Amino acid sequence: MSLIVRELRIGFGERTVVEIDELQVGDGEIVGLVGESGSGKSVTSLALIGLARSAGAWVEGSIQLDGRELTSLDEAQWRQLRGDRIAMIFQSPVSSLNPVFRVGDLFVRALRLHGATKAEARDRAARAMREVVLSPELLRRYPHQLSGGQAQRVAIAMAVALRARVLLADEPTSALDVTVQAEILELIQRMRREEGISVLFVSHDLAVVAGLCDRVAIMQSGQIVETGPTAATLRAPTHPYTQGLVAAIPRLGGTHA
């Protein structure tokens, strides 16, 4: 599924915080949205799943999912779309799961919400867990009994089980240590390869984006200042902000500024 954003404006009250002329995530493509804190990455991803308004923002412009205009959807239509077509994973995996329910219950609830029967939901949950290389045994645990990496896998498994076609990943690895981070990135890549899902990967970490994304969009104070294939863009950045970001990547053996 492809996601095409055009002339998107997001703001709070009088202030416009995001102005994106164009942003595309093609079918089966992983696109990195990179920028520093406060550059508008997170509110953009919220807008793409229809939650920016309930965060108090206004949204104008066009967001198209396989040609279907999303900005004009009402709340009920959005609800059907969320989880079903578009899913989102977050920075703090453990606290993204309601602590009072077992992981399996969370799965079953989410799946039943989108029309699965109970037995079907259990079955799909177990299969999705195996797909993200977790034991279905973990479905019996409470979220706090999972590690950060396990919880993030669970979140991805949930998106997989729901058969979401577009995954919005808002800094999904920032809270994880480096080895776990690598596993999650590998998992996202595999999901793209095997399921053909499209991913918008929001991050401030250029090194991670360089290893994962096909294309990259660099965001500064709400605007996309540069976009292109990841390797080319990072090798020869044209915009001064991108040049600054690339220069700021710490390298082994480099001299300290």
Q: Which is closer to other proteins, CB of 155 or CB of 217?
A: 155
Residue from 70, 162, 202, 218 touching other proteins (CB under 8 A): that is 162
Query: Scanning residues 172 to 231, which ones bind other proteins (CB under 8 A)?
Result: none
Q: Which is closer to other proteins, CB of 94 or CB of 187?
A: 94
The DSSP-derived string for 95-136 is GGS-TTS-HHHHHHHHHHHTT--HHHHHHHHHHHHHHTT--G
Question: How far is the C-alpha of 220 from the C-alpha of 207, rounded, in Å?
Answer: 18
Q: Give bridge partners of residue 136 from the DSSP assignment.
A: none
Q: Which is closer to other proteins, CB of 32 or CB of 83?
A: 83
Token pair of 156 as six digits = 């991805």
Residue from 2, 24, 64, 79 touching other proteins (CB under 8 A): that is 79
Taking the complex as a whole, how short is the minimal distance between the CB of residue 161 and other proteins, in angstroms?
11
Contacts of 228 (CB under 8 A, 6+ apart): 215, 216
Token pair of 181 as six digits = 């981070």
Q: Which is closer to other proteins, CB of 91 or CB of 181?
A: 91
Q: Which is closer to other proteins, CB of 17 or CB of 51?
A: 51
Query: Is the torsion defined by CA of 200, 185, 214, 38 positive or negative?
Result: positive
Q: Which stretch binds other proteins (CB under 8 A): 19-27, 72-80, 121-129, 197-205?
A: 72-80
Question: How far is the C-alpha of 138 from the C-alpha of 224, rounded, in Å?
Answer: 40
Closest CA to 190 of 205, 209, 212, 163: 212
Taking the complex as a whole, how short is the minimal distance between the CB of residue 35 and other proteins, in angstroms?
20
Contact characters 128-147, other proteins, x per CB under 8 A: --------------x-x---
Residues that bind other proteins (CB under 8 A): 49, 51, 54, 78-84, 86-88, 90-92, 95-101, 109-110, 113-114, 142, 144, 155, 158, 162, 168
